[in-house]
């Protein structure tokens, strides 16, 4: 399935492993974004960041895209509500901000994806009881070119022990593994 990515350049968190280069963004008016989107044949759009839900013109953008028949997915940290135009929600809560999630977070998503920058087993167990989702994923963290894949596999084993059906799965950013940024 081909997708168009719309990446925003502002976030309400400051994760050290974030792959968004916040210094390389160009502000575009809604008309220019729509023009760029229309130049592709894909009808699936992934809104990502930074953090899309804090963008002041997100609602207008989503309304315009929805009116043109696009399927809209969002990748969010889950601290703010997701607009109703969204068809698919991928939430990526961050353990370093656990106290913020205890106070406020979205409660349902299509998928949960946690970047395992440290031991996140306890956080994952909390998330699975507070955010209903169809799929739960654990992703390795890459810092300074090093990926903690074996550590993540160990944590997956701990999370899925004593379950009839594993709940948590491994999610890899294949483009990073093969050297495409």
Question: How many whole angstroms separate alpha carbon 137 and alpha carbon 88?
Answer: 15
Burial class (CB in 10 A: 0-12, 13-18, 19+), 103: exposed
- In this structure, of 14-18, 33-37, 43-47, 128-132, the range with the lowest mean pLDDT score is 14-18
Q: 20: annotated binding-site residue?
A: yes
Confirm if 125 and 98 have CB atoms less than 8 A apart.
no
Q: 18: annotated binding-site residue?
A: yes
Question: How many whole angstroms separate alpha carbon 14 and alpha carbon 22?
Answer: 11
Q: Is the pLDDT of residue 16 over 90?
A: no
Q: 78: annotated binding-site residue?
A: no
Q: 92: annotated binding-site residue?
A: yes
Domains, in order of start, for the chain: 1-91 (3.20.20.70), 100-116+123-181 (no CATH)
Q: Is the pLDDT of residue 20 over 60?
A: yes
What is the average per-residue pLDDT within 52-64? Answer: 96
Residue 34 is predicted with a pLDDT of 97
Residue 1 is predicted with a pLDDT of 80
Q: What's the pTM value of the predicted model, to 2 decimals?
A: 0.90
């Amino acid at each position: 399935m081909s997708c168009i990515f719309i990446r925003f350049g502002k976030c309400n968190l400051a994760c050290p492993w974030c792959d968004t280069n916040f210094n390389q963004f160009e502000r575009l008016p809604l008309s220019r974004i729509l023009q760029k989107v229309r130049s592709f044949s894909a009808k699936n759009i992934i809104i990502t960041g930074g953090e899309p839900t804090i963008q002041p013109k997100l609602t207008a953008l989503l309304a315009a895209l929805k009116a043109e028949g696009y399927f809209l997915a969002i990748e969010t940290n889950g601290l703010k509500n997701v607009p109703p135009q969204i068809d698919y929600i991928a939430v990526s809560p961050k353990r370093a901000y656990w106290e913020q999630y205890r106070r406020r977070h979205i409660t349902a998503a299509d998928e949960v994806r946690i970047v395992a920058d440290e031991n996140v087993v306890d956080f994952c167990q909390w998330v699975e009881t507070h955010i209903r989702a169809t799929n739960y994923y654990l992703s390795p963290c890459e810092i300074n070119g090093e990926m903690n894949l074996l550590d993540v596999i160990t944590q997956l084993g701990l999370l899925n022990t004593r379950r009839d059906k594993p709940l948590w799965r491994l999610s890899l950013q294949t483009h990073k593994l093969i050297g495409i940024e």
